[in-house]
Amino acid sequence: MGYKLITVNGGHSGKAPGAGAFGYKEHEYARMIKDKVIARLKSVGVKAEDTTSNASTPSAVLAEQAKKCNAQPKSGRLDVSIHLNSGGGTGCEVLYYSEKALATKVSEAIAEVAGWKNRGAKERKELYFLRHTSAPAILIEVCFIDSKDNMKKINAKMNDIANAIVKAITGKSVHVSKPAPKPSEKDDNKDSLYKVQTGAFKDNANAEKLGKELKKKGISMYITKK
């Protein structure tokens, strides 16, 4: 379906950071991914709202996330929460209350671009976020924070993962602008212009004098200062 509004939050907070391993903190990575997803949603013309909480306890974080989501119009809304998993596994999974098809699609999309296991869609109606948001909602466990392989890949492919999430949810591809090609340096390029520097002066008066002499001879010139 075409969503009119998508709320996105990064799970946990600085004072309730969630899981951690190898120096990585779940709330930090969840926020990095959240920011990229929101930016990309907006880039494809979808309204997005940040519903991240900075509350100091896990229960307060969950309550504030749901409150922020429910403060938005319900019609046409999807609520998304970003997390990282832990417990010795690997790969991604997407938890849902009623949105099984969407959860399946998102999990498949992440696994494909990241190159890790697709754990699939899992019904979790007991989870606070999924149970207390008034609109359809999914909770994305992007990967396992205690898997060195997963973290290596997420550090390398975070942009691709964010793109995949947006495409799976909206059906719209994120177009990444490519740098302009460098001008051809081939000698046979008929449109190429070859420039000749005739002098360099510390005194502008000397530069002006040479410029006048060149103009008298019909030679095009200009003066630049470096």
pLDDT at 199 over 60: yes
Q: Are strands 137-144 and 92-96 parallel, antiparallel or unpaired?
A: antiparallel
Q: How far apart are CA 20 and CA 146, in angstroms?
A: 7
Task: Give 21-38 as a DSSP string.
Answer: ETTEEHHHHHHHHHHHHH
Stretch (H or E) spanning 69: helix 58-70
CATH tag for 5-170 (out of 3.40.630.30, 3.90.1150.10, 3.40.630.40, 1.10.1660.10): 3.40.630.40
Stretch (H or E) spanning 10: strand 5-10
10 Å CB burial of residue 117 (0-12, 13-18, 19+) is middle
Q: What is the pLDDT of residues 62-84, one digit of tens each?
A: 999 999 999 999 999 999 999 99
Which residues, at least 6 apart from 110, have a Cβ–Cβ distance to it below 8 Å? 92, 118, 140, 142, 161, 164, 165, 168
Paired residues of 48 in beta bridges: 6
Read off the pLDDT of each residue in 82-109 and give the average, rounded to a whole number. Answer: 98
Number of Cα atoms under 13 Å in the Cβ half of residue 51: 27
Q: How far apart are CA 175 and CA 162, in angstroms?
A: 12
Stretch (H or E) spanning 7: strand 5-10
DSSP 15: S
Q: What is the pLDDT of residues 129-179, one digit of tens each?
A: 999 999 999 999 999 999 999 999 999 999 999 999 999 999 999 876 555
**Distance of alpha carbon 156 from its chain centroid, rounded?**
13
Query: Which sequence spans correspond to the domains of the chain?
Result: 5-170, 193-226
Name the pTM for this structure: 0.78
pLDDT of residue 187: 46
Percent of the chain with pLDDT over 90: 76
